[in-house]
Every structure is written in structure tokens, then in C-alpha cells.
Amino acid sequence: MPRQPAEALESWLNRLAHRYGLTPRATLRLLGATVLPQRLLRLAPLLKDVGHETISGQLGLELTSLAPDPLLAALERARRDYLDRFHAYPHLEPKGLRFCAECLDEDGYWHASWASPLHAVCVRHGKRLASSCAQCGNVPFESPVWLTSATPTWACPGLYEPSRAPGARYRSRCGADLRDTGYAALPAAPEEVAAQRNLLDIALAMVRGEESSRCCGLDVAPARALEAVLDLIHAQIAGRFYLTSPSEPVERLVDAMAVAVDIASQQSPTAAYEQAQGHGLLRPHDPQAPLGPTSAIRARPHSRVLETITLLAHADRLSIDNQLKYRVGSDMPAYPAQQRHPRDTNHLRADQGLPELPMSAIPTLVWPGVLDDAPAAARDGGDLVMVRAAASLALAKTASNRKWRLLATDLGLPAAAASPIRRYWHTLRRDRDDWRAYLGWIERLFVRLHHDAPPVDYQLRRAVAADHAFLTSCARDVLSHGNHPKPDGLGPTALVRAFWPVYTESDLTLAAAPTPPPDPKAARVLRRLQAAEDDALRPWLELMNARVAAEFPGANGPLTWEPP
């Protein structure tokens, strides 16, 4: 008795037993399995314990015929992962099977996917699956009574309620024909059939190992798409039992599934979010994708799909703080890693899960060369020092929930720099397209620095360069032992003033005491040294870098660096 493709193991065992006039329990004993009376049967683990090779050899079956159904396995894996990670629900095994009367009549067996709580509509016949026998009210295969029945697979093996008549001791079998057309009178609306087909297609994409599935206008892994649909379903029915048991009536589940798939099938993230709003879902304080506070974000894991479309929909209305923190310059913004729940580890692509940049990777002023890729409005919006300082501060704030003053302090920016930087940003933000381009530029630079980390520890360099006496001592030592041609006017103080902005990737106007900007006469000497065509100052700066690295090995690295 071969097992049919996509047939439930319970159905196959029932057909096998009925062929030889045995009960399923007696058949299992002959195959070498022990089933205790009144014990709820987990058939797949039981057959695995006996051994698929042993059973296949006894019955003359192909070994693969006893393997779990791939569609059911995919649905169950997604369902269990969602309930475990998102709601910390125990791994409740589904009990019983739903059924389609017309499929039973045409195929003669039960489909394995009917055991999944997520299969509620027959897409072949456009009917909602039945959850129980209309005659006795029992859920097929939910209790162990089917193991002692010798009825055919289409007959209900359930027992009637105990009789109240005096002397009645035994309960009679139901035996109702589940192929009866009375069970077929459960029509499903076209949108419900389409919703079920969409959900099954996503699960089949997981079975085939496909890398991408379309959900809410985003190309994501099928597992993440199904996760989003399940979160939208759960948001509507707010009851785990609809996702843990096929015995639950399908009406509410089907209605919620149709709404969830309607949202997921929209062609753009904005359209998906607006559709969700129309159904009363994904409101700013809903747990599925809240916009704050941090306690609400950290309270539970979130579907990255729903999180992304919510942040994209609100991107232009968020504060500058939140725009950088949530990385709205990306096409897949996300909550910062520090705010996430410990079980919230999945992301739509690798770049979406990047944490904040370490301060050691960010100079006080962003590198001049990267400004070539910046929007024209950003380059022309202020003086060069302030534009570079604003870009560095924006990089430090990206994917970070740290306060602005702490970031500015770590970057070596004075408190007075905050006001002009804010004015510069707010001026740039008046034009939405310019501001979007600016955020996109910051996001691209953020990702580049994660993939190509600087070979320079700027945080350590800022700390070393703050010791003016140490730099002056190094300058005297270099000038006394160096054998390069010495430019006119190059003394210890001039060398320190020339070295400090190059070493820290900063500007002398931002230097704290005791490294003040040079007086007018010294400034002229410094400009002349820096503008020399023969670049006679460069070898001395390299010597200074080597001298400092000899004292602080952690500060070792090239004198200057720019992202590739």
C-alpha cells in the first residue's frame, strides 16, 4: 500500500490497516511499534523510532515514501518559529486534520497539509476546510479513537457522546461519510482562495529554496514574507489557538488571512502601509511596528518587513534624530540594534543589521574626498569645516540611540559647533529631495565604512593629540634627529600645528587648548609650509606619525587615509 504524494501519514496508515481488515493500532504493532492505550499518537516520530528502512522493507515501499511532507514541514517550521520567537509560546503540536469533502471523494486520502493550522481553504475547490464531523462533532484524528477503528479512511471514526440511558456502557462509532456533499457547503470568497494560495506559494518557495519572494513591495526571503503574514494575522485574531490547532473554526482565521495577504501583496511599501491603515493595523503604537518609545520596541521581536514599511511610510515626518537612528536613508530602514529584543535577530539583508559605527572609525571631520559624492546642496550649504563636521556627526548618529552631546564629545567637536550644524541641517531639510539625497549619501558612506574599516583608530588619535606637551616633545625629537631638508620656519610649534589636523583628520579651529590656532604671523608661516610645491613638509609629518606610534602602538597606521 504505497503512500500517495502529499498524503498524511495518518491517512496512509488508515488505508493500510483497512486493506488488511486491521485497526491502525494492530497494524503498528505488526510493524514493531508500541502504542499505549489512550495515549495521543505522534505518528511521524513513532515511525522514525521504528526505522523507515525497517518499515519500508516489511511493506515493500520506497524509503522516501515515509518522509515528512515538504509543504507541511515548511508551514510548521514557519509557524513554530513565529510563535516561539515573537510570543515565546510553547511548541504546541497541532492535533487533528481539517478536510475538504470533495478532495476526499476525488483523491481517496487526506492531504498532509490539512494538519497545519495555516491551511484553512481548499484552493482546488474554493471551499473552506471543515474542522469537525457534522454528525458527531469530533475533529478527525484529534484523539486516539481512530487507532481502534476499522472504518475506511473517508468514514468518521469518532465516538458519540455517552448515552444517558440506564445500563448504557459503551459509546457507539459515528461512521459518517465525510465525503458527503453536506460538508462541501462551505464556500470561500475569491479573495480568501487567493489569500490561501498566496500563503501556500510562499511555503512552497521555502521548500524549493528560493532566495526571494515579493512581500509588501519588497524582495525578501520567503521565510520573512511568511513571518510578516503571520504577524498580521495574529494582530487581528490576538489568539494563539488559531495558529496552534486545526480544530479551531476557520472563519476568523480565513478573514484575517485575507486581510494579511491583501496587505502583503501590495506593489510598494507605501501602498502596503496605507492598506494596513485602512484595516486598522500598524498604527504608530501597535506592537507589530511601533515608532517608539524604546520600551515598546524592545518589548518583543518584530517582523522586519512590517518594521521596514512602517519606517518608510513615516520617514519624512520623523525628527532628524530618528531619521538617522532608523537609517531612513536606506531603502530598508530598521530599529537600531541597541533597541531590539534579544530574540530579534533576523533581517532582510546583511546591510540592514549593521550596528552603529565605532567612534574609532569616524574622524572629527569627514574626509574631503568623500564630499565629491555628496549632493551639491550639501556641499554648498555652509563652510567646508562645518559641512565636514556635520557629516561626521551624522555618521556617528546613524543606527545609534546615543545622545548628540555624547557623540559630539567623542568626535572632539566643541559644544559651539552644535548650533551651526543644526541650522545647516534644517536649511537643507527645507527641500525634501535634497534632504533625502543627503541621508542617502550618509547611508552609503555608513555601509562603506562597515565593509572597508579604516586602518586608523581616530578615537585613540584624538586622545593622543590632546596632549600638547607630548606632541611638542615628539616634534623636538623629530627635528633634532631628522635628516630631511628642513623648510624655513619649521620649529616644534609649527610642526605640531601642521601635524595635528592631518593626524586627527580635523581642523585647527576645532583644537582645544593648549593647541590654539596660530597667531597671524605663525598662520602665514604655516600656510606657506603647507602650500610648498615640493611638499617638503610631508616627510616631517611622516616622522612625527612614526614617533607617536612608537610611544602608542595602538595609534599605528598610515598618516592619512580615505575610503576607497
Query: Are residues 412 and 462 in contact, defined by beta-carbon separation less than 8 angstroms?
Result: yes
pLDDT of 79 higher than 80: yes
What is the reported pLDDT for 61? 86
CA distance 116 to 342: 28
Quote the pLDDT of residue 33. Answer: 86
User: Which of 330, 187, 197, 172 is CA-nearest to residue 257?
Assistant: 197
Q: What is the pLDDT of residues 22-35, one digit of tens each?
A: 999 999 999 888 88
Are the CB atoms for 201 and 72 separated by under 8 Å? no
Residue with cell 612608537: 550
Which stretch of DSSP H or E encloses residue 128?
Answer: strand 127-128
Predicted confidence band at 449 (pLDDT cuts at 50, 70, 90)? very high
- C-alpha cell of residue 290: 511601533
Neighbours of 219 (CB within 10 A): 12
Range with lowest mean pLDDT among 173-182, 303-312, 331-340, 473-482? 173-182
Residue 559, classed as helix, strand or coil, is coil
Distance in angstroms (rounded) separating the CA atoms of residues 539 and 155: 93
Collapsing DSSP states into helix, strand and coil, what is residue 2?
coil
What are the residues facing 7 on neighbouring strands? 111
199-222: average pLDDT: 95
In sequence order, what are the beta bridge partners of 121?
128
SS3 content of the chain, % helix, strand, coil (to 5): 55, 5, 40
Q: In the predicted model, what is the mean pLDDT of the chain?
A: 88
Delimit the domains of the chain by residue range.
Answer: 190-353, 359-453, 460-555
Cβ atoms of 112 and 9 closer than 8 Å: yes
More confident residue, 39 or 457: 457
Q: What is the DSSP code string of 92-127? A: PPP-S--B-HHHHHHHSS-BGGGGSTT--EETTTTE
Q: What is the pLDDT of residues 516-551, one digit of tens each?
A: 555 565 566 566 666 655 577 888 889 999 999 999
Looking at residue 47, its pLDDT comes to 87
Q: CA angle, 397 as apex, 395 and 399 as ends, to 5°?
A: 95
Q: What is the mean pLDDT of residues 341-362?
A: 90
Confidence of residue 515 (pLDDT cuts 50, 70, 90): low
pLDDT at position 41, please? 77
pLDDT of residue 415: 75
Comparing 424 with 163, the larger pLDDT belongs to 424
**Half-sphere exposure of residue 331, counting CA atoms within 13 Å on the CB side?**
8
Write out pLDDT tens, residues 88-125.
887 667 788 999 999 999 999 999 999 999 999 999 99
CB 415 within 8 A of CB 421: no
Q: How far apart are CA 282 and CA 288, in angstroms?
A: 6
- pLDDT per residue as tens digits for the range 238-282: 766 677 777 777 888 899 999 999 999 999 999 999 999 999 999
- pLDDT confidence bin for 375, thresholds 50/70/90: very high
- CA–CA dist 267, 264 (Å, integer): 8
Of residues 180 and 68, which shows the higher confidence score? 68
Does pLDDT of 11 surpass 80? Answer: yes
pLDDT of residue 250: 84
Q: Stretch 218-234: mean pLDDT, rounded?
A: 95
Q: List the beta bridge partners of residue 338.
A: none
* Burial of 533 (C-beta count, 10 Å sphere; 0-12/13-18/19+): exposed
Q: What is the DSSP string of 205-226?
A: HHHHT-S-EEETTEEE-HHHHH
Least-confidence region, from 45-49, 225-229, 242-246, 382-386:
242-246
- In 3D space, the residue among 413, 543, 404, 532 whose CA is nearest the CA of residue 476 turns out to be 543
Tell me how far apart the alpha carbons of residues 545 and 375 are, in angstroms, rounded to a whole number: 33
Per-residue pLDDT, 528? 64
